[in-house]
C-alpha cells in the first residue's frame, strides 16, 4: 500500500501536476529558504509578491544580512507573524558569520539556523541538496490522514510522531525533491481541505477516507482556538507641522520591531465618548491643553492567538516633547514598517 502510494503520486506529478510557482524547481538554497519562510502561515497567492519583492531588494544572503533592519521589516509589512522576519534576519547574519555567507548544506546546520524547524530544514535539504528528508506540512498531513484513514490528531505528540515516521517511510529516497514537491502540490490542488477533487484522484481506489466516507472528518480537528482580546487606542499627536510622534515596539510582544503611534492599552473596550476622561489621556494630553479632534471607527486585526480592536484618536495642537517617541515627518512615515492595522489606516487618510 505504501509503495503503491508513492509510485502513483510520482506518476501523477509527471503526467498531471501543472502547478506553477516562482520557486518551483529552484536549486538555490537561499531562494528556497526565503520562499519557505514567507509561506509559513501565508497563502501562496499572497506570498508570491513578497517573494519577488525580497529577491529584488535583497538578492543574496549577504545583502539581506547587511541591510538596515527597518528596510527589511518594511518589505515584510503586511505579511504578519513578524517573528518570521526577525528570524530571517538573525539566520542571515548567522550564515554570514559562521558559514562565510554560503548557505549550509547539512541538515543539522540548516536546522540550527534561527526560525528553521524540521519541515523547513527538510524542504531546503531535499530541494537544494537532494537529501532524503521528508517534508511534513498541513498538505502532507491531510493527504496521509485521508489515504491511510488516520484519526489521530496531528497536533498531538502521538500524531506528530506518527506522521513524521509515515512520511519518512513513503519518501522516495532516490528523488526526494520530486516526491516532496509532488505530495505538497497534491494536497494543495487535489486533496484540498474543502471540496477535494476525489473524482480526479489517482489514489482514489485505496483511499480509506473516500472508501469509508471520512473525507470531511480527516484530519481530526484540533480543539477550537481561544483568542485573547485586546484593545489598542492610538493617539495621533503632532510634534510640529507635518511631524508625528511614533515609536518602535521593542517589548517581547506582538509586532516587535514595528512602529506605532502613541499607544494606550486599557485592557477593555472604552466607548468613544469616554476616551478623553481616562487618566492616560489627562496625564499625557489633557494637562497640556490638547483636545480630541477626531476618532476613527473601530478596526480589527485577528492574529493566531489574539484579536486586536483599535481606534485612532486625532488630537488638536502639538506636543514638542514626548519621551520614548520620535518625531517623524509625514513623508518619512511611508518608509517605516507598521502593523497592518496602522499601515492601512495611514493609507486611508491622505491628509495624514
Q: How sure is the predictor about 243, in pLDDT bands with cuts at 50, 70 and 90?
A: very high
pLDDT of 83 over the 60 cut: yes
Any domain includes 290: yes
Residues 134 and 201 in one domain: yes
Answer with the one of 217, 240, 255 that is the final residue of a domain: 217
How many folded domains does the chain comprise? Answer: 2
CA distance 189 to 252: 38
Answer with the one of 217, 237, 262 that is the final residue of a domain: 217
SS3 187: helix
Residues 147 and 210 in one domain: yes
Residue 209 maps to which CATH number?
Answer: 1.10.340.30
CA distance 55 to 48: 11
Any domain includes 222: no
Range of the domain at 300: 228-348
pLDDT of residue 224: 67
For the full predicted model, state whether its pTM sits above 0.85: no
Residue 304 maps to which CATH number?
Answer: 3.90.79.10
pLDDT of 352 over the 60 cut: no
244 backbone φψ class: left, alpha, beta (φ>0; ψ -120 to 50): beta
Residues 153 and 255 in one domain: no
Mean of pLDDT values over 21-46: 89
Mean of pLDDT values over 42-67: 94
36 is catalytic: yes
How far does CA 51 lie from the centroid of its chain?
A: 12
pLDDT of 351 over the 60 cut: no
* pLDDT tens digits, one per residue of 245-255: 999 999 999 99
Q: Are 216 and 50 in contact (CB under 8 A)?
A: no
CA distance 6 to 171: 7
pLDDT of residue 287: 86
Nearest one of 112, 66, 117, 68 to 93, comparing CA atoms: 66
pLDDT of residue 330: 84
Cell digits for 248?
Answer: 518602535
CA distance 29 to 195: 34
Residues 29 and 175 in one domain: yes
* pLDDT tens digits, one per residue of 317-331: 899 899 999 999 988
Residues 79 and 166 in one domain: yes
Length of the chain, please? Answer: 352
pLDDT of residue 304: 85
Answer with the one of 191, 217, 243 that is the final residue of a domain: 217
Interior/surface letters 179-204, b for 16+ CB within 10 angstroms, e for the rest? bbbbbbbbbbbbbeeeebeeeebbbe
Q: How far is CA 45 from CA 48, 51, 85, 188, 315, in A?
A: 6, 11, 19, 12, 39
Q: Are 142 and 187 in contact (CB under 8 A)?
A: yes
Mean of pLDDT values over 248-263: 95
Q: Are 311 and 292 in contact (CB under 8 A)?
A: no
CA distance 99 to 93: 10
Any domain includes 223: no
Hey, which residues does 301 pair with through a beta bridge? Answer: 308
Q: How sure is the predictor about 41, in pLDDT bands with cuts at 50, 70 and 90?
A: confident
Residues 195 and 240 in one domain: no
Share of the chain above pLDDT 70, in %: 98
224: DSSP letter: P
Is 41 buried (19+), middle (13-18) or exposed (0-12) by CB count in 10 A? Answer: exposed
* Residue among 36, 77, 238, 260 flagged as catalytic: 36
Peptide bond into 350 cis (omega under 30): no
CA distance 188 to 173: 22
Residues 18 and 144 in one domain: yes
Residues 238 and 161 in one domain: no
Any domain includes 281: yes
Average pLDDT for the chain: 93
* pLDDT tens digits, one per residue of 89-121: 999 999 999 999 999 999 999 999 999 999 999
- Region of poorest pLDDT, from 23-32, 55-64, 222-231, 258-267: 222-231
Amino acid at each position: 500500500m505504501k509503495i503503491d502510494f508513492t509510485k502513483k503520486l510520482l506518476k501523477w506529478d509527471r503526467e498531471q501536476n501543472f502547478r506553477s510557482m516562482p520557486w518551483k524547481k529552484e536549486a538555490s538554497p537561499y531562494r528556497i529558504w526565503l520562499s519557505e519562510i514567507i509561506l509559513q502561515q501565508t497563502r501562496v497567492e499572497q506570498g508570491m509578491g513578497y517573494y519577488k519583492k525580497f529577491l529584488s531588494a535583497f538578492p543574496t544572503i549577504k545583502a539581506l544580512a547587511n541591510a538596515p533592519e527597518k528596510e527589511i521589516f518594511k518589505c515584510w509589512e503586511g505579511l504578519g507573524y513578524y517573528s518570521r522576519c526577525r528570524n530571517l534576519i538573525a539566520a542571515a547574519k548567522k550564515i554570514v558569520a559562521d558559514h562565510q555567507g554560503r548557505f549550509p548544506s547539512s541538515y543539522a546546520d540548516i536546522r540550527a539556523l534561527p526560525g528553521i524547524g524540521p519541515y523547513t530544514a527538510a524542504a531546503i535539504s531535499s530541494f537544494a541538496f537532494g537529501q532524503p528528508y521528508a517534508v511534513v506540512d498541513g498538505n502532507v498531513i491531510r493527504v496521509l490522514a485521508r489515504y491511510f484513514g488516520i484519526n489521530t490528531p496531528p497536533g498531538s505528540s502521538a500524531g506528530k510522531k506518527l506522521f513524521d515516521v509515515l512520511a519518512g517511510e513513503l519518501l522516495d529516497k532516490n528523488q526526494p525533491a520530486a516526491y516532496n514537491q509532488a505530495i505538497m502540490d497534491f494536497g494543495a490542488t487535489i486533496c484540498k481541505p474543502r471540496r477535494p477533487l476525489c473524482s480526479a484522484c489517482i489514489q482514489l481506489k485505496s483511499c480509506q477516507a473516500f472508501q469509508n466516507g471520512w473525507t470531511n472528518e480527516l484530519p481530526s480537528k484540533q480543539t477550537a482556538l481561544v483568542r485573547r482580546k485586546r484593545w489598542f487606542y492610538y493617539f495621533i499627536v503632532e510634534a510640529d507641522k507635518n511631524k508625528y510622534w511614533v515609536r518602535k515596539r521593542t517589548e517581547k510582544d506582538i509586532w516587535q520591531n514595528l512602529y506605532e503611534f502613541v499607544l494606550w492599552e486599557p485592557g477593555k473596550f472604552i466607548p468613544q465618548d469616554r476616551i478623553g476622561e481616562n487618566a492616560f489621556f489627562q496625564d499625557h494630553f489633557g494637562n497640556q491643553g490638547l483636545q480630541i479632534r477626531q476618532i476613527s471607527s473601530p478596526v480589527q486585526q485577528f492574529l493566531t492567538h489574539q484579536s486586536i480592536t483599535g481606534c485612532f484618536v486625532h488630537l488638536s495642537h502639538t506636543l514638542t516633547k514626548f519621551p520614548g517617541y520620535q518625531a517623524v515627518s509625514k513623508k518619512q512615515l511611508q518608509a517605516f514598517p507598521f502593523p497592518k492595522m496602522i499601515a492601512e489606516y495611514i493609507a486611508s487618510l491622505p491628509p495624514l
